[in-house]
Amino acid sequence: MVRGIGDKIDFKILLPLLILLLVSVLSIYSATKLPGQYSIFLKHVLWIISGIFIAVFFYFFPVQRLLSLSVLLYIISLAFLVIVIFIGKKVSGSASWIQIGKFQFQPSEFAKFTTILILAYFLSKRNVRADNPVTLIVAGILTFIPFFLTILQPDFGTAIVFGAIFLGIMFWAEVPVFWLLLLLAPVVLIIASFFSIKVFIAASILITILFLLMRKPFVLTFMIVAMNLMIGLTSEHIYHKVLKPHQQKRISTFLNPAKDPLGAGYNVIQSKIAIGSGGLIGKGFMKGTQTQLRFVPAQWTDFIFCVPAEEFGFVGSVTILLLYLILLWRVINLATLIKQRFASLVAIGIFSTWFFHIMVNIGMTLGLSPVIGIWLPFLSYGGSAMWVNMAMAGLLMNFYANRRELN
């Protein structure tokens, strides 16, 4: 039987991936043009090249082996997370790096991958039933450990990603949506209560409607909604009455950086100026004044999106968005294509990770979401993230190549 190369290689993943890597190389080259920063660019290229080897490794790695290694890998990653708390190297306030010689490694990135694996492994076990509350509790504990350890670093931004992974995988594993909603509702309401009374009311109405859609007994729905509103109102009360002004300010600038134009808000303002000034076709490669003059801090890591947006304009930034959309769309389809539960759940876990990162990172540069220091897949500078993402991409292509066997 002769099948084309398209049968073994998923071009819908490979092509957007390669283009994104190219955009990344160009963007980081542009953002590190000043003397003394050339090494950043060189390192980035090295990460990508080594990342390709990792992707190839995972492309050929037997899925069954991976499944059986899940527990071990998970435990190793937790061990690293514990170690990093003690010997971690501090980078801008959080000790999230382990330094081995010249080599730096970020255990929380590795943990994202192993958390996906352990959740997929656990939920694909024959005797685990998705509609059993115990399943939710065990999965919750499995996620909470790396989440909690990451919080301790403290790296709140990365920690939330575990929550996104958890929700995505649970949703895909057919855990009743009602349960997920029960978990999510108070979080949403607490956050909404910090914004403004309008946002809080809107969120309350939305959540009430969602609970009504669950078609549970009216009394139960009423009690749940009441509970949630109480939690939201209490947190609002705590925020306004109990917290000291500087604590309030910390929360409010986290949620709305524009309020602090010289502090956290500065990044967002500069990022919006960089993006907005790009116009339709941009200022041209290496001609972005905001990029070239370092107006946007952390330009090559968290704010990398500004570089192509400034230098290639609306055309460039929408192209990048479309590449991500193709990639993410493909991962959803791939998850349905693969019938093996473990692989399918892993695919959705990867989808959740990427989707959350893209949503928050781009949203942050556009001033839509809070400033959380998390990378943009394949574009941001950073070795550990690049390797983990490449591993994930290799694994997805592995699933595609072996889709008929994974049944």
Partner 1 sequence: MTETSRVKFLKILLSIIFLFFIVKLYELQLYRDVEYKRQAEINSIRTIQHDPIRGLIFDRNKKIVVDNVPSYTVTLTPYEFDMKNLDVLAKILKVDRQYILEKISSAPSPFSPVKIRRDAPVRAIAYIEEHRGELRGVDYLIEHKRNYRAPGLASHILGYVKEITSSQLNIYKGLYKPGDQIGQSGLEKSYEPIIKGEKGYRFIMVDALGRFVGKYNDGKNDIPPAEGSDLILTIDIELQAFIEELLRDRSGSVVVLDPRNGEILAMVSKPNYDLALLSGYTPGEVWSQLNSDPKKPLLNRAISGLYSPGSTFKMVLAITALETGSVDLNWKVYCPGYFVYGDKVFKCHTSQGHGWVNLTKAIEVSCNVYFYNLMLRVNFDDWSRYGGLLGFGKKTGVDLPEEIEGILPSTEYFNRVYGVNKWTKGYLISLAIGQGEISTTPLQMATYAMVLANSGKYHQPHLVKEIINKKTGKIEEVSYYTREIPVSQRTFDIIREAMYLVVNSPSGTGKGARVEGINVAGKTGTAQNPHGNDHAWFVGFAPYENPEIAFAIIVENAGFGGAVAAPIAKEIVKKYFELKNQRTEFKVAKW
Q: Summarize as ranges the residues that interact with partner 1 (CB under 8 A).
A: 171-172, 174, 177, 262, 270, 272-280, 289-290, 292-297, 309, 313-314, 317-318, 321, 324-325, 328-329, 332-333, 336, 351, 355, 359, 362-363, 366, 368
CB of 273 to partner 1, least distance (A): 5
- Give the chain's length: 407
**Is 103 in a helix, a strand, or coil?**
strand
CB of 388 to partner 1, least distance (A): 21
Amino acid at residue number 307: V
CB of 37 to partner 1, least distance (A): 12
Instruction: Rank residues 42 and 325 by Cβ distance to partner 1 and give the closer one.
Output: 325
> Would you list the DSSP string of 261-276?
TTTHHHHHHHHHHHHH
Q: Do 195 and 256 form a contact (C-beta atoms < 8 A)? A: yes
CB of 231 to partner 1, least distance (A): 24
> Would you list the DSSP string of 77-100?
HHHHHHHHHHHPEEETTEEEEEEE
Residue 125: phi and psi, rounded to 5, are -65, 140
CB atoms within 10 A of CB 401: 16
Q: How far apart are CA 391 and CA 373, in angstroms?
A: 22
* DSSP class of 241: I
Beta bridge partners of 26: none
Q: How far apart are CA 95 and CA 343, in angstroms?
A: 33
CB of 104 to partner 1, least distance (A): 26
Instruction: Rank residues 38 and 171 by Cβ distance to partner 1 and give the closer one.
Output: 171
**Token duo for residue 139:** 């999965």
CB of 348 to partner 1, least distance (A): 8
CB of 394 to partner 1, least distance (A): 22
Instruction: Rank residues 342 and 355 by Cβ distance to partner 1 and give the closer one.
Output: 355
Q: How far apart are CA 177 and CA 185, in angstroms?
A: 12
Q: Do 277 and 285 form a contact (C-beta atoms < 8 A)? A: no
CB of 296 to partner 1, least distance (A): 8
Instruction: Rank residues 276 and 284 by Cβ distance to partner 1 and give the closer one.
Output: 276
* DSSP class of 154: T
CB of 216 to partner 1, least distance (A): 15
**Token duo for residue 280:** 């339709």
Q: How far apart are CA 11 and CA 7, in angstroms?
A: 9
Instruction: Rank residues 22 and 321 by Cβ distance to partner 1 and give the closer one.
Output: 321
Instruction: Rank residues 73 and 173 by Cβ distance to partner 1 and give the closer one.
Output: 173
Q: How far apart are CA 379 and CA 247, in angstroms?
A: 33
Instruction: Rank residues 78 and 338 by Cβ distance to partner 1 and give the closer one.
Output: 338
Instruction: Rank residues 328 and 386 by Cβ distance to partner 1 and give the closer one.
Output: 328
* Chain position carrying tokens 């997370």: 81
Instruction: Rank residues 51 and 257 by Cβ distance to partner 1 and give the closer one.
Output: 257
